[in-house]
Amino acid sequence: MGKIIAIANQKGGVGKTTTAINLAASLAVLERKVLLVDFDPQANSTSGLGISPETSPNIYECIAGDTPLEEAIRPTNTPNLDIIPSHIDLVGAEIELVSRLRREFVLRDLLQGLEEAYDFILIDCSPSLGLLTINALTAAEKVIIPIQCEIFALEGLGKLKSTIQLVTDQLNPQLHIDGILISMYDRRLRLGKMIVQQIKSSVPDFVYETIIHRNSKITEAPSVGQPVIMYDAGCKGSDNFMKLAAEFLDRNKEEEAHLVP
Ligand SMILES: Nc1ncnc2c1ncn2[C@@H]1O[C@H](COP(=O)(O)OP(=O)(O)OP(=O)(O)O)[C@@H](O)[C@H]1O
Ligand SMILES: [Mg+2]
């Protein structure tokens, strides 16, 4: 049905969390029921939505088997948007999972049964290709890959794509890339346009039409625990993410037709 979406890139600081929070919130504003699973021990999505990263229950306790997933779901200040918070303890899961039966399927098994309750479930991944990210890719049907609009943007993309291929071949045949998202575009930089061209010609089929520009409101919003659309609905950042949500829905309209109302 295409409703579980991992936001992944093993490169750090490319805009994964920003995309997870703001795409989720924009879809929620468009009246989709959305769950954001913070699956990064840094817990940036958690704090970015105004929830303490010390919160319990959290995704780590669910992965450890101490808490049913439903109990970890928290509403946010954005209507239609719920979150499962993360916790720094999730670092330990990377090692603890190694000896588990069906270690790649732990998140997928947990999310089963929740799918009916949401139109979309977004998973914010950590900057690694370890077992946590493999779990997210095994649970998901689609991946969104944010890349920073900079000179070495495409570095590491090959490794990510081959990991996705490996997961598709061995663990989750449904998985595919929904799109590559160019983020933090700075129109004042002359190089910017050239980099966009370079990215589009390297991976033509995948790149979203929508480009997320650098915008100070996007940086400020998490400090008050809000998605940018709730912080300043009129700013360029909000406009970018509403356009992305519309483009995402357009790419997924066939699947959406099959979703429960
Ligand atoms: N479009 C944007 N405009 C301005 N600042 C941005 C934008 N996108 C991201 N940032 C800022 O860049 C930093 C990195 O972004 P973000 O946390 O989303 O990346 P990430 O890929 O999740 O990082 P990590 O790999 O550490 O999880 C953050 O401080 C964020 O506020
Ligand atoms: Mg992040």
Going from N- to C-terminal start, the domains of the chain cover 4-248
Q: Region 103-129: what's the mean pLDDT?
A: 95
Residue 146 confidence (pLDDT) above 70? yes
Least confident of 21-25, 183-187, 202-206: 202-206
Residue 261 confidence (pLDDT) above 60? no
Q: Region 53-68: what's the mean pLDDT?
A: 96
Q: Region 158-174: what's the mean pLDDT?
A: 95
Q: Residues within 5 Å of ion ligand 2 by Cβ?
A: 16-17, 44
CA–centroid distance, residue 241 to ligand 2 (Å): 17
The residue whose CA is least distant from atom 15 of ligand 1 is: 15
pLDDT above 90: percentage of residues in the chain: 82
Closest atom of ligand 1 to CA, residue 14:
21
What pTM value is reported for the model? 0.96
The residue whose CA is least distant from atom 20 of ligand 1 is: 13
The residue whose CA is least distant from atom 31 of ligand 1 is: 219
Closest atom of ligand 1 to CA, residue 125:
27
Q: Region 121-149: what's the mean pLDDT?
A: 97
Residue 187 confidence (pLDDT) above 70? yes
Residue 257 confidence (pLDDT) above 70? no
Q: Region 93-117: what's the mean pLDDT?
A: 94
Residue 241 pLDDT level (bands cut at 50, 70, 90): very high
CA neighbor of 225 nearest in space, from 21, 72, 30, 7: 21
Query: Where does 4-248 sit in CATH, by number?
Result: 3.40.50.300
Residue 122 confidence (pLDDT) above 90? yes
Residue 108 confidence (pLDDT) above 50? yes
Closest atom of ligand 1 to CA, residue 124:
22
**Hey, what's the torsion of the CAs at 35, 55, 18, 89, to 10 degrees?**
-110
Ligand 1 site, CB within 6 A? 12-18, 40, 42, 44, 127, 183-184, 212, 214-215, 218-219
Give the pLDDT score at 24: 98
CA–centroid distance, residue 15 to ligand 2 (Å): 7
CA–centroid distance, residue 16 to ligand 2 (Å): 5
Name the residue of 16, 18, 236 to mutate for ligand 1: max ligand atoms within 8 A of Cβ: 18
Which residue pairs from 50-53 have beta carbons closer than 8 angstroms and sit at least 24 positions apart in sequence? 50/76, 50/77, 50/224, 50/225, 50/226, 51/76, 51/83, 51/85, 51/225, 53/85, 53/86, 53/87, 53/88
CA distances from 77 to 80, 81, 180 (A): 9, 8, 28
Give the pLDDT score at 1: 44
